Amino acid sequence: MNCAGCNTICKPGARLLNCHSCEGIYHIECLNIKQQQYSSLSEEFKAAWKCPSCNNVIRRGRSNLLKPVRSTQIPLDDNMNMSYEIEGQAPISPTTPAASVHDCVALETGATFHTFTQELHKTFEEWRSDMNNTLTVFKENIKSSLHDWRDEMEASITKLNDDLKFAFNGFREEICTLRAEHERLKHQTADICDVSELKASMLFLSGEQDDFKKKVDGTIRQSTEQSSLTISNLETKVDYLEQQARQCNIEICNTPETRSENLLNIMGSISMAINFPISQKDILSIHRVPHAHR
């Protein structure tokens, strides 16, 4: 291969530097680096080294020492090397302590990390927006289901009340029939001469009427208590479902499904990946739901 500085063939055994960015090969003489300086360079510095041309592209506002490699070799003195400087900072050269070289690499790494952080933040913002939209749709579906369920319960309660009213009306009609029968018997017994038999019949009918009235009153009371208990239970269920609908629900989409999977462990892994750990005791229930297009 040819040297990117002098465009001559790189002979075996020559001391070379390979650019980490453009992968160009340079003689140390073309870079104005002495053999003593080259020997003092660390392997880490050699692996992360960038040629002056790549440094000019990455960093602006440098001194004139960042010009591309010269086509001819110039005298090897300490003033003509591959050093470069940043505004407000001292020059950095191969003879500079290793900490300065690491600072330069850290600046590049910091810029790359900042770009990565911005992209990651953008991705999380989009993911959070999608989650908010999904939660909004889920809440609307829950509210719609609750309204439908409440309408059905109200219809059931109305039907139950109508049935009870119909039963009470039937009891009243039977009582009226018994009273009419009792009056008819009273008129029939008026012509009976045997007062004792008439009195016994009246007492018997009166006792039967009292027993029937007690049975009717007990039945009405029991039906009323049962209806009140049923209505109270239904109201409690409605309140519980409304409270449950207000709890914090999360739907995570596009999670691969595997056999014998542990959803709690999957949720824990996701929470650790987003740096928001969630304990298993904080999860009331977790299950998979079918997709909307199925």
pLDDT digits (tens, 9 = 90+) for 182-225: 888 877 766 666 667 767 778 888 888 888 888 888 888 888 88
Asked if residue 129 is part of any domain, the answer here is no
89 and 143 part of one domain: no
Position 224: which residue type? T
161 and 179 part of one domain: yes
Distance set, CA 97 to CA 25, 36, 66, 244 (Å): 24, 15, 20, 64
268 and 234 part of one domain: no
pTM: 0.24
Separation between Cα atoms, residue 267 and residue 286, nearest integer Å: 9
DSSP letters for 84-124: B--TTS--B-TTS-HHHHHHHHHHHHHHHHHHHHHHHHHHH
Asked if residue 110 is part of any domain, the answer here is no
Separation between Cα atoms, residue 93 and residue 83, nearest integer Å: 4
For residue 281, the enclosing domain spans 257-285
269 and 226 part of one domain: no
**Structural domain total, the chain:** 3
Mark which of 38, 69, 96 sits at the end of a domain: 96
pLDDT at 59 (0 to 100): 53
Asked if residue 274 is part of any domain, the answer here is yes
Distance set, CA 117 to CA 9, 98, 102, 123 (Å): 43, 28, 21, 10
163 and 241 part of one domain: yes
- Reported in sequence order, the residue ranges of the chain that DSSP labels E, i.e. its strands, are 16-18, 25-27
Question: Which residue has tokens 């824990």?
Answer: 268
166 and 239 part of one domain: yes
Asked if residue 46 is part of any domain, the answer here is yes
216 and 263 part of one domain: no
85 and 177 part of one domain: no
Asked if residue 123 is part of any domain, the answer here is no
161 and 239 part of one domain: yes
Measured between alpha carbons, how far apart are the two ends of the chain, in Å? 60
221 and 280 part of one domain: no
Asked if residue 211 is part of any domain, the answer here is yes
Mark which of 63, 96, 129 sits at the end of a domain: 96
80 and 169 part of one domain: no
Asked if residue 102 is part of any domain, the answer here is no
Task: Please write the tens of the pLDDT for every residue from 45-61.
Answer: 888 888 887 877 655 44
274 and 236 part of one domain: no
- pLDDT, the chain, mean: 76
Four-CA torsion 30, 32, 35, 41, nearest 10 degrees:
-100
Task: Please write the tens of the pLDDT for every residue from 225-273.
Answer: 888 999 999 999 888 887 776 666 788 888 888 888 899 989 889 999 9
Task: Please write the tens of the pLDDT for every residue from 134-151.
Answer: 999 999 999 888 988 988
